[in-house]
Every structure is written in structure tokens, then in C-alpha cells.
Structure 1
Amino acid sequence: MYFCTVINRKITMSTVIYPSPIFGPVHSRRLGVSLGINLLPEDGKFCSFDCIYCECGFNKDHRPKKKLPAREQVREALEARLLDMQQNGPKPDVLTFAGNGEPTAHPEFAGIIDDTLALRDKYFPQAKVSVLSNSTFIHKAEVFKALNKIDNNILKLDTVNVDYINKVDRPTGHYDVNEIIEEMKAFKGNLIIQTMFMKGESQGKSVDNTTDEYVLPWLEAVKEIAPRQVMIYTIDRETPDHDLKKAAHEELDRIAELVKEANIPVSVSY
């Protein structure tokens, strides 16, 4: 049995803003007992996507005023929390870079990864280090190199349909899905693809990506990328766009079977 601490997070309608730089641990549907590392400001959202399903809300509604935590600040806070967990529990399964936006946007991301791996090895060598990323900075050499060092390089690919990407993921800068696929292939299997499947509407238009129109082209891209695993999930918390709906168990299972038929391990979070 394990016990997770309560996150001191600010919750408003359709919004969860996480403390920085350390939060949790929490129990993750996909990763187990997870100690969160938030490289973004603690008072708002900082992301290269503006997803309509993001638990942190829309970018425009939560502009941060505080600065990003510095590398040394992250290292000191993480070591203090790991020491406390070593003495008082619980034992973490994973140290997860997540929080209020895109972690790889931090200019000191690569150095912070090195610090985290060293602290993990010192306090909980059995724990994994994971990064949840929307893939927008994997073209940067230092980000690519850092992600290749960790245990779980979890990269988002919700679809290959450009219209859907612009309607649902809503990149804030340059985003070419074909370039992203090529950059993912460069990891040579050292990645996990994470995909959100959902239903419902946004501004009166369907956002259902569980049909073959979306699934089959996505599956072909997944086969090309050849990740070591695919994580399929659906909406779990309140979303800023209130007309979104969870994908049904049966729909997620059908998609998972297609991935299995391609001989790629897959997990499903309902």
C-alpha cells in the first residue's frame, strides 16, 4: 500500500495550475506513483500548444507573470523532495516532467535532465524518469539528446490530420506534422507515442478522432515511427471546452487491437 500527498495546486473552473518546480506525488493512470517536475511558472500556463482538452485551460486565460524556475532551483527542490521521500515515503515509481505546459521549452532543459538523472541514481535508482512532451522542440539537438537519455520519452501525436491538429491541438507556432514524424523516426524506437482519442464537438464541429478516417492514417504513421510503445488515452478531467466527450471503452479497445496487430505494445487508459 502507498499513500500519495495532496497536491497544493490551484483549481479553477476547467483549470489545474500546478506548483513549480515540484508537485505531488500523484497516482498516474499510466505511470504509477509519480513525482511531478514542472519547469513552467507556477502562476499560469506556458505552452506551444493550446489544446482544447488541456486541464490547465486555454493559454489566453492563464498568462503567467512569474519567470521559469532556474536550473539550480529545480535541482535543489527536487533533491529536498527526494530526500524527504527516502525518509518518509512514498517510494516513487517515476519522476515525471509535466505541469503547466511544454517542459522541453525550458532553455535549461538538457541540464535539468542531467541533474535529475544524477539525483534519481542517488536516491531512487529503480525509479524511471519520464517526460511528457508535445514534440514541438524535438528538432533541437540538445532536446533530442536529452530525451534519448531518459527512461520514458513520451511524445504526443494525436493525429496526422492537419485540420484536426489546428482545431484541437492548436499549435502556437510552426508545426508540420510530417516534420514531426521524421523527427520521431530519428529516435529509432526510443520513444513512446501518446495519443488522445475523444468525441464531442468544439464550436459546433465534431472532434471525434476515433473513426477510421483518423485512426488508419495515424496508424500508418505509428508504424513508420516504430515506437517501443503506444499509450492510448481519453479525457479524464474537466476540459476548458465543455462540449468534449470521452471515447468509449470499446472504441479505445478497437484502436488498441489495430496497434497490437502491427506488433507494437500498447496501453489503454480509460
Structure 2
Amino acid sequence: MTVTATSPMPELDRPYDGLPSNAVADFDRDGFAHLRNVLTPETIAAYEPTITAEVIRLNTQDLPLAERDTYGKAFLQVTNLWEHNEKVKELVFSRRLARIAAQLLGVHAVRLYHDQALYKEPSGGITPWHADQYYWPLSSDRCLTVWLPLQETPMEMGPLAFARGSHHFAYGRDLPISDESEARLKQTVSEQNFEDVVEPFALGDASFHRGWTFHHAGPNRAAVPRRVMTVIYMDADIRIAEPTNDHQAADRGWMPGTAIGQVPDTPLNPVLYDARR
């Protein structure tokens, strides 16, 4: 198992010392964690212009906002930016972020599933209620997403919100992100009395959420885009599962050349942190 090379930005490789002693237990109970000062504003400022430039360059959405469906209005979505830009790769391959992911998941090592920039334009719509792992053909729930805003994210910009404890609830796991998932999961969250946790993000904050945690976001009422970089991590020993829907079948493309039951040890899925090394 080979761990990737270090980044030229020292903070991206230094351990994060802000993880509370009860963070792992809380993450297991709640399905998410909102952590403060994960990166300094200076580090984010060093990467945001490059990420934004790559989103503009690689974005394929050309319909006006008013002509898109609900999903299209939610955000501009560009995946695996790290393959296109070495500077973005430095951030995506950060040992600091990957170490937090491994600690929260309770595993010794994590590998990359893929990265994803999510830019909610001014007047961009809601992000419907959904669970990410609906899309992932993986053998366990030892996987999570880090949601890293590239600017302060007040309530008017639509920060990510989570249904506390919903990763323990199986209903709704067959729903892709859609108007239907918004309606059905919104009702379920209310009926099951899951707390809908939403709060602003300061610059440098990041959230981590499990694959089955239901989450959503409000519209962007600000005059500037809500710029967010995400990275999906999985237990380094996880295996590829038989897809249960067409989206999972398509998502096997993030782990090229692998078979059902194999560990996705591919060039696109490097180990980003291993506590034993």
C-alpha cells in the first residue's frame, strides 16, 4: 500500500489538532461533524483562484439557470479536478484532511474515491435532500465526504445541512437526488424527528459527513457564487460491491479496471493517509 507524496504547502500535511476528544463518538452518533479552523484562510486563498479557474474551464453546463431542472439549478459540478491541475492535486491529496477522515471513520487508512467542485451560482436553487452513498457501489459504510467552502458561507448562501442520526435509518436509500427525494426525505426527516442541523461556515471550517447521512442545502441568495470543494474518502480496505442501480454501475468508472469484490487499488484511488506509515 503506497501513500502519496507530500504537498508543498506545509499545513496540508500537518496533523489537525482541533479534533475534540469526543469527535469520533459524536460522528458515529450524528453522521456528520462541522469542524472549525481545519485550514487557515491563507491556505484556502492559495487554492481558491486555481479551483475556480478550473471549474470555469471544465464546466460543461451551458443552459441558463432558468432553463435547468432542480438538480441543474443546485450547482455547477466538476469532478476529479486533481487529474487536470497539479495545484488542485495538492489540496485533494492533503494528508491533513485524509487523516481527519480516517480518524472519524475509525479506520487506519483511507483512499480517494474522487473529488468534486460544487459551485452554487447566485440565485442557484436548493440542493434536494439525499444520501451520497446511493451512488457508490461500495461494500461498507466506511466512507465520507469533506465539504470545504472556499469562502465564508453565511445562511444566505445555502450552507450544507444535515439530518442528525439519519445514517442509521434505512428508508430513502433508494432515492437519487431529485424533486422526489426532496419531498419524501423532507417528510421523513420531520416524521422521524431528525434534527435538521444548519449553521454558517467560517472561512477555514469544513464538514465531514457519512455516505448515508441525509443532507441538503438552501438556495444561494447572495450576489456571488457559493464555492465549495469536496473530496470523497473510503476505507482503504473497502471492496467494490455489486451495483444496486444504474448510477452505481456508472460510478464504477471512478475505479477503472476493477472487478466486484476487489479493493479499488487503482491509480485513480491512491491511499492518501495510512496511520501505519
Determine if the TM-score, normalized by the shorter chain, exceeds 0.5.
Answer: no
TM-score range, shorter chain: under 0.3
TM-score by length of 2: 0.23
TM-score by length of 1: 0.24
